[in-house]
Amino acid sequence: MKSYIPTINISSLLKSDFNTLASKNTLRKIEKACIDIGFFQVTGHGIEIKKINNICKIGNRFFNSPNTNKNKLAPKKWNKKNKNIYRGYFPNTVNGKEGLDLGDLQIKPLNSKKYKSPYIEYLDLTKSFNKSSIESLSNYYDNIFSLSEILFKGIIKLYKKDEAISNKAFSRLKTLSTLRFNYYPNQTKPVEISKQDGVALGCETHVDSGVFTILYQDKKGGLQVQNRNNKKWYDVPFNKKALIVNTGLALEYLSKGKFKATNHRVLWNKTKRMSVPFFFEPSFDFKMHPSFLNGSKSVKKGIFFQNFLKNSLKKFIEYQR
C-alpha cells in the first residue's frame, strides 16, 4: 500500500547549486509535498544512520539516568538553582512526556549576554553529559542545521530568488533553532482524547512554529498527519534511513500561506518511545514579513521572529514557565 507521506531522495540537492535537472525535479517533488501534505520523508540526506542511532542512544541514556542527573539541566521552574528558563530538561509531569531542548551548542555564556533574547541561553551540558556525547550532539546539530539550510534555500530557489537571502533569516549564533529529544515513558494514561475521532493520544494535536521540522522517530512509530482536505489521519511509517520533514507556521507566514503548517499528533503508546525533532527557526531579530520570499523589500508590517515564536509557544503547556 502506498504511503500517504511521500519519500524523496534529496541527494541531488547536496551535490549541486539547484541548477541541475535532477535537483530541479527534486525541488518540484518537495514543493508538491509541502503544498499538498506538509509532510515528506527524505533519504539521501547525507547524515550517516550510525550517527543518528548514536544520537538516539545518547538521548536514551540521558532519560534513563537518575532524576538528579536530568534535573541538573532543568529550567528554573523545576530547579530553583538554575538560571535557564527556555532551554534544558522538563519532566513528564508536565504533559506526559519528558523533553530536552538544546539550542545551538556553539553558544557560550558571552553570546547569551551579547544577544538580548530570552531564548538564547547557554546550557552547561557538562553537568549531565560526558565529553564524547557533547561532541556527538554538537556534530549532529551542525549537520541537521546544514541540511535545513539546504531545504530552505531550495524553497527560495522555487521562488526564483537568490538563495543568499537565507542568510538574512538565519544567522547561526542568533538562530532560535532547537534540537529536541522527546521521551515518552510507559504512559499510564493518554494526555488527550481526540475530540475529532476519539483516539487516545500521547502528544496533543498541534502544528510547529518554525520554518521546517526535521525529525527522526524510532521504530515504535506513532506519528500521524492530518489530511487538510478530508481531515483523516495517516500514519508516518518508520523508515530507518529517512528523516521526516514538515512545514511550520513561520514558513506559512513567509510564503503568504502557500506552504501551510499541518496538524500532526502522536498516538498513545504504552511502551517507551523517543523522537528527535530539530526545529529550524530563524534568528531572534529577523523581521518576518509575508513578502520575504516573493521579493518585496517592505518590512513595515513584519514581526520579529522572537515575538512570533512567543505567540506560537503559548499553546504548549511545557513552555508555560
Name the burial class of residue 203, with classes exposed (0-12), middle (13-18) and buried (19+) by CB atoms within 10 angstroms of its CB.
buried
pLDDT of residue 186: 67
Q: Which stretches does DSSP call E strand in the chain?
A: 7-9, 39-43, 88-90, 98-102, 178-184, 192-193, 200-206, 212-217, 223-226, 233-235, 243-247, 264-267, 273-280, 287-288, 303-304
Asked whether 250 and 284 are in contact (CB, 8 A), the reply is no
Residue by residue, pLDDT tens for the chain (321 residues) are 468 899 999 999 998 889 899 999 999 999 999 999 999 999 999 999 999 999 999 999 999 999 999 999 999 999 999 999 889 999 887 777 889 999 999 998 887 778 888 889 999 999 999 999 999 999 999 999 999 999 999 999 998 888 888 888 999 899 999 999 988 876 667 677 777 777 777 667 788 899 999 999 877 777 889 888 888 899 888 888 999 999 999 999 999 899 999 988 877 777 777 889 999 999 999 999 888 887 655 556 788 999 998 888 777 666 665
Name the burial class of residue 270, with classes exposed (0-12), middle (13-18) and buried (19+) by CB atoms within 10 angstroms of its CB.
middle
Q: Per-domain residue ranges for the chain?
A: 7-319
pLDDT of residue 22: 94
pLDDT of residue 301: 73
The pTM assigned to this predicted structure is 0.91
Yes or no: domain 7-319 corresponds to CATH 2.60.120.330: yes
Name the burial class of residue 80, with classes exposed (0-12), middle (13-18) and buried (19+) by CB atoms within 10 angstroms of its CB.
exposed
DSSP 3-state assignment of 275? strand
pLDDT of residue 82: 93
Phi, psi (deg, nearest 5) at residue 189: -150, 155
